[in-house]
Each structure stands twice: as structure tokens, then as C-alpha cells.
Chain A
């Protein structure tokens, strides 16, 4: 069976800037595949190349066996794209937006109405079909875009940061819709995100940083790769505990609010040993499995920080996009 997406040594430079520096991966049909990385890692550039909106500087990308550079129109017919910013005509109604899409993708005339209605019902917007999309909230617009992406039943659906800027409830609802999509139609989903919890929804994740893939695996396996658990200890004497950990066990630790944290293999067993043999003065202690955040940190030495400075990040994104053209 042909892979849904097959990318070999893909590169893209803008003038002096190398946005994508030799990326390669394969996505199986029916898979939910995520590109996880901070803003500016090359995620959007990669998705634009795969969607035929940008030409790669070198390397190849094949979708369902079709080369994106050689047969863009064939590729376009088989994919759906949901962009980071809404790409709806906000002076048209929801129904008109979808109808235009159905015509553009040559959905057979007799099926259009039924497909549009079905898509609208799928995202729960059927009641609002005659309203101008400019009256829709951000979450409704995103759902309408997903509905639009379904009208022509694409083999592969691309989603660039599908839930950025949405509130937690809407994000959860969007993911319900996306998972339902795979179940119902077997659609392959390729998405980019900088949300760790969103990446957990993927079958496999490629962690990208500075235009390269630094790791590619299932979320569970990636977390396994860190291998250690994160222990957080609350104590009045962090210096003493740090000294004990480093001298007796050779474990480096990081000061934290009201105590310190450290990474150790089999954290639960280690705590028991620590408490029974060394009896340090502790006010509390907890162990947790590593998250994708820890994975990213251990791979790149940095944390993905996007929230907090969302406004700035969006501004920088807009600026970069303008420059990148």
C-alpha cells in the first residue's frame, strides 16, 4: 500500500534563511501524524510545501504517490487544508462557502447538497448554514473550515495549528470532530501544533526544531525515551537535599519553588529507598511520568513556550509570514 505522505530530504530557503533543512518522513494511510515544535521551527513552511502552496528548494514530497511539484492539481484534488488563520469568505453564508468549495473540487452536482448538509451536521453548524460567516465565533469558523475540508472527501487532511487561539472547550470539541473523521472516513490527518497536550492525540509525532526533525515516534515511545521520572520534593532545606542527591546518588537537581526537582529512573522505587534509608526532612514529594514537554526539553535543551506570550508570538508569526511572502 502506498504511503499517504512520503517526504525525502526536503529543503526550503528564503533568501539567506533556511526554514526547512532536509526533512524526511513517511505517513501511513489513516494515520494521525503530528508536527510538534515551537513557532518558527519550519512547520508551516513544510505544510505549505505539501499543500502545493510553496515550491521546495530541493528534495521531494509525494502524496498518495503523486509528486507535489510535478502534479500539483492532482494533489490538490486529493487533499483538504485547514489553515492557521481562517480562510473563509466572511461575506458569504456558511452554505455558500461550502458550495463554492464543492464546485471548485468538482463534487458531482447531484451529491453537493447532501454532502454539504452532512458536513455541516458533522460539525454541528447545520442550523447556522444561512448565516454570514462573519457573525461566527472563532471556534465556529474553525469548525466550518473542517466541514469545508470534508465536502470533497479528501484522502489527506492538513491542519496547520488547528486549535490555536481556541478556548479549551472548543479545542476538545474540535478534537472530537477530528477523531470522528478518521473513524468515519479513514482520512489521514497531518497536523502541526505547538501544544503538547494536542500532540498526545496523534498516533505519531515528529518533533521539529530549527527546520529539522529531532525525533519521530509515538507519544508513548518518545516519553519512554526520556526514560526517567520527574520527582518534585518540597523541603525547607533544598541545599541539604541537593547535596545528598548528588553525593550519594550522583543525581543533578534543579531548584524549584519550595524545594527542588530531579529526574531518576523508576522514580516510585527510588522515593521509597530515599525515604527509608536517608530519611531526609521532607514536607511532601511527588513523582510523575515525563510529558512531551520533558521530551522536548531533553532533546533540545529548551521548553516550548508559546502560551503566555501568545500575542507577541502571533505578531512575530505575522511578520515572518509577510517577509516569507
Chain B
């Protein structure tokens, strides 16, 4: 069982590392965000209360964003594999469905971890200042968040019949989760309606906790945020296994 999970995990990793062009794209994607948003808004945005500069404020949000995108794309690869037939080979093999889901989630989290680490390492180049130890301590939280998103992606993928629905996933899943998370702005001064949406979004707590660890600026107790991140990871992993079991090739 462990060997099968490892073999399937390794397969996704080989493919991630093998395609150089795609590798470079995914490693630089969020750094470009940091350049455009961070440098673009640094002059005109000041974070109230703490007075942190915007680039440093943005880095934890973009770290979570990187994980969000990478994990979601990794999970959606299931749809790709169904279109191109490989999924059938997996479904007809004497492998527990849970092992396939576990391998997908672990591989998606691993690639997300690599991408977000690269972004964190590059960010001082554009003037981001944060605690290196805090960033290191954030990684487990980011990995857990990656697992959550991956599981969500698998649930979505199990219902998608073709790749044509992918745009809808970006519009109705990735973008709302990202924009309503406080990754780009502090949530303290938000209007009430928007604040409610932000508060039910698990990504909010990831961003808040990572920001707390990196630059000491946070809204919620670290313990609460961690508990929410862990709980949502467990819940979605269970749901993902269930929906994968029901999926037919």
C-alpha cells in the first residue's frame, strides 16, 4: 500500500520535474505576482496600525496563493488523465481508491511546497522583509492547506466530465477563495458583508497564521487558525476519498 502510494507520488513528481518549461513557469508565476502587485502598490498602500510595507505584507498571502493554484492544478490533472485514458489503468488496478487519492494529495502538496519555497526565497530580492524562522514554521501550515485544496480539487474533478469545465473551476472556486482571503488586503476594515465571506473561507486563516509567523501581524490566535486548517484538511480529504470511490472511468 505504502509502496503503491510512493510509486504514484513519484510518477507525478517525475512529470513535474521533467517538463522544464512548465517547471519554470510554475516556479516564477507567483514571483511575477509579487513584482507586479508588490512593487506596483508599495508606494500607494500603507497597512494601518502595524505600518508594514506592502511587499512584506503581501508575501504570506502570495505564499498561500501559490499553494492554492499549484494544488488545484495538480488535482485537476485527474480530469486530464481521464480524458487521455490513463485513469482507467489506475481504476482497474488492484489498488485501493484511497491510495490513489493519497498519492495525488501528497504529490500536489509537494509540488506546491517547492513552488511556494522558491517564491519565499526570491521575495527578499524585491525588498520583502520577514522572519526566516517564521517562514520555515509556516511551511507545515501551507502544506496542510495544499492538501485541503487538493482534496477540494479532486472532489471537483470527480464531477467534471471534460476539461471544458476548467474555466468555471477557475472562476467559481479558485478566484473567490483567493480574493476573499485577505491575501491582498488586511481584513480588519472590511464592510460587514464582505467580512462574513472572508471569515468562512479557510484560506483566510492560513494567510493570517502565515502572516503572523512571518511579520507578526495577525487577526486571529495562531492556535485557532491552525485548528481550522487541520480540520478543513481532514474533512476534505475524507470527502475526496468518498467522491473518488464513486467516480467511474
A77-121 residues at the B interface, CB under 8 angstroms: 77, 79, 81, 83, 85-92, 96, 99-101, 103-106
Identity of the chain B residue whose Cβ is nearest the Cβ of A103 in the assembled complex:
B7
Q: Considering the chains assembled together, what is the distance between the CA atoms of A103 and B8 in angstroms? A: 9
Cβ of B20 under 8 Å from chain A: no
Check A89 against B93 for contact (C-beta < 8 Å): no
> Known contacts A96-B14, A103-B4, A103-B7; is A87 also within 8 Å of B89 by CB?
yes
> Known contacts A83-B88, A104-B95, A325-B248; is A91 also within 8 Å of B8 by CB?
no
Chain B residues near A (Cβ < 8 Å): 3-4, 7-8, 11, 14-15, 18-19, 81, 84-96, 161-162, 248-249
Identity of the chain B residue whose Cβ is nearest the Cβ of A53 in the assembled complex:
B249
Check A106 against B18 for contact (C-beta < 8 Å): no
Would you give the 0/1 interface string for A268-281, flagging 1 where the beta carbon is closer than 8 Å to chain B?
00000000000000
Chain A residues near B (Cβ < 8 Å): 48, 51-54, 73-74, 76-77, 79, 81, 83, 85-92, 96, 99-101, 103-106, 148, 322, 325
Check A325 against B161 for contact (C-beta < 8 Å): yes
> Known contacts A53-B249, A87-B86, A92-B11; is A322 also within 8 Å of B162 by CB?
yes
Check B85 against A87 for contact (C-beta < 8 Å): yes
Check B93 against A87 for contact (C-beta < 8 Å): no
Identity of the chain A residue whose Cβ is nearest the Cβ of B162 in the assembled complex:
A322
Find chain A residues with CB under 8 A from B81 CB. 89
A79-B92, A92-B11 known; 13 new pairs, CB 8 Å cut-off, are A48-B249, A53-B249, A83-B89, A86-B84, A87-B87, A88-B89, A89-B86, A90-B84, A92-B15, A100-B11, A103-B4, A104-B90, A104-B93
Find chain A residues with CB under 8 A from B19 CB. 91
Q: Considering the chains assembled together, what is the distance between the CA atoms of A83 and B3 in angstroms? A: 25
Q: Considering the chains assembled together, what is the distance between the CA atoms of A303 and B249 in angstroms? A: 31
